[in-house]
């Protein structure tokens, strides 16, 4: 089994209430690695942030850093996270203007290539994390493929989010294998349907997921409790040369809190070892 990290966005509300206590709880579950998100919003210096992680026995592997922050002040945004110890800087999301087909897409590709060089100079690697919108067709292929085809692999690698890949209509395991050697991080995220109805056909699954996503009622689930073939995805990640599995659950499942979900996902992964 590849090493497991928790995306701290999963427990963002808990961190706001009790930063050090929440990190301690994450470590008690068994996580030893984390991926950061919104790290510069907690009012801590990089040294203070790293001190809290060290105190909990956690290490930061990677960080989601907003594209706008990276463009506005690359050295500051990147340096904050590399000082904490992050090996990977991840662009987590694009506005509609910046996406393939948008008015700023050509500019974005140039900016990402430049950022990739800056990140490299600062001792890390630049990645992109997808949602489902990148699986719209653009120039005869998935928009996500167009982005990766436009920028050399050494300047931009992948963090494939298996949940959104599935919602977008692609097979997560096969898509990870498509980018073998370019997929150091894989986002593990599962989903199901709160009404408990079986989804028999692939197109029905995709349609229902997109419908739930658009209505903000998307039913995230702890790993192993949803519709994804997590063991198959992990095997594909290992075959593709991935280095880390990152657990994320954007919102807790009905009747559960974020820490419960993080614990259930971790415990499920341990059963696969």
* CATH number for 86: 3.20.20.150
- Tokens for 41? 């919003």
Mean pLDDT across the stretch 83-106?
97
Q: What pLDDT sits at residue 273?
A: 85
Task: Give the Cα separation of 64 and 38 in Å (integer).
Answer: 7
Mean pLDDT across the stretch 203-212?
79
Does 184 have pLDDT greater than 90?
yes
Mean pLDDT across the stretch 163-186?
97
* Count of H-run helices and E-run strands, the chain: 12, 12
Does 259 have pLDDT greater than 60?
yes
The residues that bridge with 62 in the sheet, in sequence order, are 35, 88
Mean pLDDT across the stretch 222-243?
97
Residue 130: domain span: 4-271
Q: What pLDDT sits at residue 119?
A: 98
Does 199 have pLDDT greater than 50?
no
Q: What is the mean pLDDT of the chain?
A: 94
Q: What pLDDT sits at residue 193?
A: 66
Cα angle 248-70-63, degrees, rounded to a multiple of 5: 25
Question: Of residues 228 and 204, which shows the higher confidence score?
Answer: 228
Task: Give the Cα separation of 259 and 1 in Å (integer).
Answer: 22
Q: Which of 128-142, 161-175, 208-222 has the lowest mean pLDDT?
A: 208-222
The residues that bridge with 158 in the sheet, in sequence order, are 128
Does 182 have pLDDT greater than 90?
yes
Overall number of domains in the chain: 1
């Amino acid at each position: 089994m590849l090493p497991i990290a928790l995306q701290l966005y999963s427990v963002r509300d808990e961190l706001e209430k009790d930063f050090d206590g929440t990190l301690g709880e994450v470590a008690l579950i068994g996580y030893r690695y984390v991926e950061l998100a919104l790290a510069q919003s907690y009012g801590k210096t990089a040294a203070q942030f790293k001190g809290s992680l060290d105190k909990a026995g956690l290490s930061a592997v990677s960080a989601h850093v907003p594209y706008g922050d990276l463009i506005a002040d690359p050295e500051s945004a990147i340096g904050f996270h590399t000082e904490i110890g992050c090996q990977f800087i991840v662009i987590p999301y694009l506005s509609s203007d910046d996406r393939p087909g948008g008015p700023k897409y050509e500019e974005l590709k140039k900016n990402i290539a430049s950022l990739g060089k800056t990140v490299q100079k600062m001792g890390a690697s630049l990645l992109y994390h997808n949602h489902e919108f990148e699986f719209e067709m653009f120039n005869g292929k998935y928009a996500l493929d167009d982005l990766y085809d436009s920028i050399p692999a050494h300047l931009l690698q992948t963090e494939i989010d298996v949940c959104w890949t599935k919602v977008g209509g692609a097979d997560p395991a096969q898509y990870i294998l498509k980018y073998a050697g370019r997929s150091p991080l894989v986002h593990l995220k599962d989903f199901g349907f709160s009404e408990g109805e079986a989804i028999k056909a692939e197109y029905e699954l995709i349609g229902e997921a997109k419908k739930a996503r658009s209505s903000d009622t998307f039913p995230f689930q702890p790993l192993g409790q949803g519709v994804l073939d997590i063991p198959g995805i992990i095997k594909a990640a290992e075959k593709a040369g991935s280095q880390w599995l990152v657990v994320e659950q954007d919102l807790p499942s009905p009747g559960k809190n974020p820490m419960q979900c993080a614990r259930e996902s971790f415990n499920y992964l341990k059963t696969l070892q």
